[in-house]
Amino acid sequence: MNKLNKIRMSLLALMLCLSLPLSSCENNENSQENSIIQSEEKENISLKGEKVIIDYGDAESFEAALNEGENLEGKVVRFVAGELHPQSKLGYNVWAGEHLNFVSSRNPDIQEGDTVTVRITSIENLLGSWIIDYEKVENGIVNKDTITYSKSKETTAVTTEKSKTTTKVKETEKEETKSEVNVSDEPAEENTYEHNEYYDIVETASFQNIIGSTIVIHKVLAKKDVSISATLLAYADDGSVIGKSSDDISLTEGKYNFFRYSFDSDVSNASIQANAKPESDSFMAGERNAVEMVQYNQSGDDLYITFEQISDEGDAFAKFKLLFYKGDRIVETEDGFFNIYAENLNGKGSTDVAKIWAFGIDYDRIEYVFEP
């Protein structure tokens, strides 16, 4: 009996000895797993809290860079959200700046007036407006390299005491366009926004574009070689300001050009105050008649325009401007820089073709403007 107990005690002791390393091993494995999980959690917390440098600190500086032809995909932008259009044809559309449309397929949880920081994933230009896909960014910070808009756009009337002109924009229905030609028999009044020593307004138009902005066009005939900076202010009946838009154009004596103003809201019944002033040409301005439009044709949704350089030297910042007409009405506009759309213009006699998306434009002719 004692011998049997001794055998039992020996087996129990052996089992205890064998179980100790297994338990120790399991504890070690669990400890390693816990360490890995904790490490990953710490890493995730670190990434989530990582600061992101903002490249553009406001919508104005970002839009200015886009207009200069810079590739800004991947850049981080901070802007103040304007009007929200959740049912737009482009999806959930957040307006900002003059022509910026931040679009997404889902509700981005952004309210009008919010300050938003995003990383740009793709950019397209649609009829003069920028269509921007993005992803929201947390922990964005501004540093010394962040670009902000500092240019002051002062506007002073070109005129004397009668300089401030109040006019009514013609009433428009959504997706409908109207224009009128100035056919007044009265002599042109000098030193007003409409008629002055620099230009005469010869045609006006207003319409809503595909993204719902109200576009106002003032076509002018130039009297001098000069640059003009102009601003329209839209007022409601109670005197409150409901919109503001500015445009800068370079005039060539004897040639047509046009001001293009864009308003986020409907200003068809607003009173418009117009101011303009002459500016010195940029030192980078080149020939005033450097490129001609040879021909154009449309294939599908794409418009192809053939250009020919007729001067010896080109202008890196010159652009083409287009007025789309349906009958005698202006129904849309477009513009672009030659160095982006027709980069192969490299000397007198050279030609190149610009490709423009013209989806949804119902027109029967195009008027071309060269702007240095």
Pairing of strands 241-251, 271-279: unpaired
pLDDT digit string (tens) for the chain, length 372 residues: 444 455 555 555 555 444 444 444 444 445 454 544 444 444 343 334 578 999 999 999 999 899 888 999 999 999 999 888 888 878 899 999 888 999 999 999 999 889 999 999 999 887 778 999 999 998 889 888 899 875 333 333 343 333 334 444 444 333 344 444 444 444 444 689 999 999 999 999 999 888 889 999 999 999 999 999 999 999 998 989 999 999 999 999 999 999 999 999 888 888 999 999 998 776 556 788 899 999 999 999 999 999 999 998 877 789 999 999 999 999 999 999 999 999 999 999 999 999 999 988 999 999 999 998
219 sits in which H/E element: strand 214-222
3-state secondary structure of 20: helix
Please tell me the total number of residues recorded for the chain in this structure.
Answer: 372
Taking the model in full, what pTM does it have? 0.55
As a whole number of Å, the end-to-end CA separation of the chain is: 115
Kindly tell me the number of DSSP H helices and DSSP E strands found in the chain: 3, 22
For tokens 């920028």, the residue is 130
The Cα 22–Cα 107 span in angstroms is 54
